[in-house]
Structure 1
Amino acid sequence: MSNYSRADATFGAYAAALGLLVAVLLVMAFVVSARNEEHIPRVDYGSDAQELSRTAEYTVLVPEDLPEGWVPTSSRLDAEDGQESGGAAPAAWTLGFATPEDMHARVSMSDAEPERFVARTTEHGDPDGESEIGDATWERYLNEGEEQRSLVRADEGGATVVVTGSADYKELETLAGSLRPRE
């Protein structure tokens, strides 16, 4: 015959309940931590760059050798902003990035009327000086209300290029400095 102790029975039930509670909390902590990891969608913009190079009447610029942490998140060809002469081929391209500082930046290029394209792309930003990037001078634009900075260059190849976003000028200059003619 064994000795039954009410204290032992209560302690066993308490330990089992506590173990179950700890297991549930660990599962919940794992689920919450897995959801907190940012999953930035990455796009391959090669086909858009190729299509634009084939159809546009200007030199297409693509980013090369961006430092680690730049993630291409969107790519869009747009015929609406394209050639003012009514050409059907896509002549405008916007390529978006998540930056290493968790901001957003995008490159837009088009052969649309430059003044209208710049106003729309910079969201009617105001002139804010210049940036020297390599051997090119880029005009700076700032839209304080939208917290958007932009770098603008009228490309001698017939297109206007705008690098814009919530990123600071330093990151925008990095993106602008990486642009090379697509071969």
Structure 2
Amino acid sequence: MQRFTQGFYGYVVAMLVCLAGVGVFLLVTPQSRTEHIPRIDFSIDLANMRRAAPYQVWSPDPVLAGWVPTSSRQTGEKGADGKAAVTWKLGFATAKRAHAMLGQSDEGSPAGFANRMANTNEATGSVQINGVTWEQRFRKDKNQRSLVRLLPGVTLVVTGTAEWDELSALAGSLKQQSKIAS
């Protein structure tokens, strides 16, 4: 028995026993092969934004088929001008499983907000979506596409790694939501 616990052959036997144990463990452990994307309900954030924002809030209405809302974050921060800005960022996994986000804010510097969200200040063109002109921006090193719309009182940015058709679909689904009296 001592020859199996010492020397090179003992080492080989111990390794084989360990590998066999790992193999059995992997065979009996259930493996999930399905994709799991965390889904959130942004209806409470939307209601809070409709109450708190000094502008009419925009949201996808309805959420596009096959899209999964994955994140929602609203903030009320003081901007560089000292004025409190109300910002909402709403993220999605698209039907093609790319990333898209809607950002909107009444920040004192609309161009500054748009530049930060798009990670660039260079326009590459424009596109008409539902009769409205959106500025296109593209940052190649991040594979990030953005659609920017500067409105009186609010800046809208639709951005992400999604292709132009998906970003355009998100921009086209946006509808102004009525204010809720607080």
TM-score w.r.t. length of structure 2? 0.77
Question: Number of residue pairs matched?
Answer: 155
1:178 — aligned with what?
173
Pair 1:67–1:77, CA change in 2 (3 A): closer
Over residues 49-81 of structure 1, what are the superposed CA-to-partner deviations in whole Å (9 max), with x where a residue is unaligned?
A: 111111111110010123321000000002237
- Root mean square deviation of aligned Cα: 2.2
Unaligned runs of 5+ in 2: 1-23
* Native 8 Å contact 2:64 2:170 kept in 1: no
More strand by share: 2
Q: CA deviation at 1:152?
A: 0.4
CA distance in 1, matches of 2:110, 2:148: 10
2:127 — aligned with what?
131
After TM superposition, the structure 1 stretch with the greater mean CA deviation from structure 2, 76-85 or 39-48, is: 76-85
TM-score w.r.t. length of structure 1? 0.77
Q: CA deviation at 1:82?
A: 6.0
Runs of 4+ in 1 over 2 A off after TM superposition: 23-28, 80-87
AA paired with 2:60? P
Q: CA deviation at 1:26?
A: 6.0
2:52 — aligned with what?
55
Pair 1:109–1:84, CA change in 2 (3 A): farther
1:100 — aligned with what?
95
Tell me whether 1:140 sits opposite 2:112 in the alignment. Answer: no
CA distance in 2, matches of 1:99, 1:82: 31
* Native 8 Å contact 1:63 1:175 kept in 2: yes
CA distance in 1, matches of 2:50, 2:79: 13
Percent identity reads 41
